[in-house]
Structure 1
């Protein structure tokens, strides 16, 4: 098998890429932009962007986190390879070509005459360093758990523009995995995370006022076409209505993660993203370790009611963790029906057998995770209580919630239901299975040896056999494991000033490419 891509190393400008996978919709309040100077607000060369939350970090190896990727990915740093969100095709970025030279070896040729924003030249040594740094357990890179498993990989620099990656077993989608590794210079700290990263992207960090704003400026050493906007100012407001008002009042140019009722008016655009919401059931603590209780939780979710009443139709009820267009998506899976009577019956049966169903279950949600998150959490708590379960709500910020979402999980936390939202931007169900379904997955709390084996066997296949096997794995999860109660395949709303030309697409949940934004003209207003 060989893939040879011989196109310009300059990034092809793709339409769309805006972060949107989280926002709470609360009461309207004032919407002045704190700490934005008059000159910044008036400058036609500055993009003013308001997010639902402050990025927890700008560390490139954490760019798989939506709140980080929205600023970092394809703006400050770039990968060797990128995936076209529309076609799914892999395209060159800092690599000009790649090929499988042996069953276990992929060779990557890197672009020449490219510099980092600090002026140092980019070579294959930097790419190898970035790959190895991602696998450094001491750093704890999110992308490592998100994209890669625990198997060993050997990275070899063949020459200044060639590197090879050897895996213990054949990995047919290694180039796809590499699209998640953001490249940094080999002078980057390899023992800890960085606050202001250096990359080869069209922008670089200007400053970060913690709790206030982040500013990027154009990278003078960028190897591609210079972006139209020379600066970008990011701020954050929890309330979706406030973010929308900042755009309508010309205090911001773009506002992400809005709900249909937030008041963006004609400046709001609804679009399909690739995010799926679900409850992850921590299945190793009673009463959640009882399959009947987990099934009761699944039956207690009123998916259609949530989508219709809370999301105002912006989404569809989900029966699996990936959406259409992803390799492995199973068109035959139907969402679990809402059946509160059956749920109550299952809880009563478990109680009669001595299962402590009255034990308090903690339902964790992340503030600003998606529109109407608070109301969604409260609705689920109510229906679970009607089924006979005792549920307590805890809302957290990103940093707090991530301690429960990724390994190592908070010890001694008791039975937990965690609201998650997963976007498989890579386009293959393996990325979902490895972290959310395998017994030792980075974001999985439960599994069986038999189900693990089914997953691994499917992932070793290619072509239609791979599609069929992955689809069966997804269909088997509710009967074999039932770690998840799927809720909805989501849509998002973006508010955009008429002064900016930009169209969102399915990649918008993970990155916002500032270089794709241009000044609007009369023809595209």
Structure 2
């Protein structure tokens, strides 16, 4: 985020006509069909990632490893959020308004086709919502954005779509910005590995374990992108990714570390990612709040930020950084107090808690720079507090089984390393999935906490902001599902041959169409 006062939802969401599409697109630098032509297509842009995407399925595109390739490159949503201003802007929808307390009406862009030649229309938009939100497909975006709520959708005509929510939802257009639209030919019984979309690039090849290649699509409704192709490779070590930039083997490298010492080839950006441990409360010893508090006291967050990340990250006290609606500026990170941690563990043990029971520290390999070193530090620090911690380093597909419900039930207590990014700018997208009792990425909650969350979800303006601020404070005081560690700063490696300024969304959707060859 670049602003500390992100708007809840723009005027475009409540007036009809909602906005002047051409003017807003011009301001944001987005493409429109009749705007100035882009420069002649260049050769391929070479991007190196930290890991191979597990899938490019559109309804999984809120996963960073998937979205960084597919979002706004292969597929597009109805509306998009400008990461600089926080405003919602038109894309496949040109106008929208609330037509009742629970109904929103969207006007859709005409003349758009999918990469298989079929037309984009209200039927396709309704199909996408039903497939991702109302089905049993188990899409990650359903839990992340919509929770348990089903939506009623209706294609009124080719260019008019209505969406009805079970209860008033003041941020429905913002939620829909996470749904990448797919044609009605897409399977509804299985997730697809390679989606068809309306974006400026289509998937040419995916050589498993080697490379993904996107190629510019001639039928795109907007401007032709500058690069004719985008080629993605992956290397787990950030030092290797950095070396590929300096040696000329790659043009853009994601997820670099301060230790890579890239100089002017390394560009810092606010990536909105927060690192934390998510703890379950159903099994000993983490089923005792004193042990979860001890975990927080045992972690030397200042030391981690300074020693592993050269002070570029910030100690975190909550799951969202400054700039997100609901961020509580009054919260401070838990103090590092090993004696206090030991005392709490001893107190729990004296009351019969099995503090010797194993805690599995589950960590995803190559998720972000220095994650292995961070995991080892956490294991050591928690062990010093008197806890029995076993480190489990897993690949992406294995880690996902711990990340999203239903969680594994065949082992003891789990503390999961979580890297959470809120690109939407509103705390609901964090709280609903991570803190509700039934949240897709929540281990537990309480009825009182659920009521607080639902009340904040339905509020707007200052009441919404205050509601979420109170939720983050309550989590730290009464629930303690999380041990927050740091708010990250992202680093992209960029060749001098590429013009591109990363923003707070770049780590989740790297828009190739925003890149041009340097003159």
TM-score bracket relative to the smaller structure = over 0.9
Rounded Cα–Cα distance in structure 2 between residues aligned with 1:342 and 1:372: 28
Is the CA contact 1:10–1:223 (under 8 Å) kept in the aligned structure 2?
Answer: no
**2:487 paired residue number:** 489
Rounded Cα–Cα distance in structure 2 between residues aligned with 1:515 and 1:68: 17
**1:2 paired to 2:14:** yes
Is the CA contact 1:278–1:485 (under 8 Å) kept in the aligned structure 2?
Answer: yes
**1:71 paired residue number:** 69
Rounded Cα–Cα distance in structure 2 between residues aligned with 1:12 and 1:237: 36
Runs of 4+, deviation exceeding 6 Å: none
The one of 240, 249, 252 aligned to 1:251: 249
**2:293 paired residue number:** 295
Q: Deviations over 1:364-387 (max 9, x none)?
A: 111111111111111111111111
Residue 6 of structure 1 and its aligned partner are, at CA, apart by: 3.1
**1:229 paired to 2:243:** no
Q: Deviations over 1:121-161 (max 9, x none)?
A: 11111000001010244321110110002123110111010
Rounded Cα–Cα distance in structure 1 between residues aligned with 2:43 and 2:97: 41
Please identify, of 293-302 and 254-263, the stretch whose mean Cα deviation from structure 2 is larger. 254-263
Rounded Cα–Cα distance in structure 2 between residues aligned with 1:55 and 1:374: 20
**2:419 paired residue number:** 421
Rounded Cα–Cα distance in structure 2 between residues aligned with 1:120 and 1:84: 28
Rounded Cα–Cα distance in structure 2 between residues aligned with 1:305 and 1:69: 32
Alignment length (residue pairs): 495
Correspondence 1:101-500 to 2 at 5 A: 101-500=99-498
Using the size of structure 2 for normalisation, the TM-score is: 0.93
**1:505 paired to 2:519:** no
Rounded Cα–Cα distance in structure 1 between residues aligned with 2:327 and 2:285: 31
Residue 59 of structure 1 and its aligned partner are, at CA, apart by: 0.2
Is the CA contact 1:501–1:518 (under 8 Å) kept in the aligned structure 2?
Answer: yes
Q: Please report the RMSD computed on the Cα atoms of aligned residues, expressed in angstroms.
A: 1.5
Is the CA contact 2:42–2:226 (under 8 Å) kept in the aligned structure 1?
Answer: no
Where 2:469 maps in the other structure, the secondary structure is: helix
**2:6 paired residue number:** none
- Structure 2 unaligned regions, length at least 5: 1-12, 31-40
Where 1:452 maps in the other structure, the secondary structure is: helix
Is the CA contact 2:327–2:427 (under 8 Å) kept in the aligned structure 1?
Answer: yes
Using the size of structure 1 for normalisation, the TM-score is: 0.92
Q: Deviations over 1:285-328 (max 9, x none)?
A: 11100010000001111110000000111210000000111100
Rounded Cα–Cα distance in structure 2 between residues aligned with 1:10 and 1:134: 28
Q: Deviations over 1:415-460 (max 9, x none)?
A: 0010001011111001111000001100000110011111111221
**1:40 paired residue number:** none
Residue 45 of structure 1 and its aligned partner are, at CA, apart by: 1.3
Rounded Cα–Cα distance in structure 2 between residues aligned with 1:12 and 1:323: 29
Q: Deviations over 1:387-416 (max 9, x none)?
A: 100101010111111100100111222100
Residue 261 of structure 1 and its aligned partner are, at CA, apart by: 1.1
- Structure 1 unaligned regions, length at least 5: 17-42
Rounded Cα–Cα distance in structure 1 between residues aligned with 2:287 and 2:305: 29
Structure having greater relative contact order (Cα 8 Å, sep ≥ 6): 1
Where 2:319 maps in the other structure, the secondary structure is: coil
Is the CA contact 1:49–1:234 (under 8 Å) kept in the aligned structure 2?
Answer: yes
Where 1:188 maps in the other structure, the secondary structure is: coil
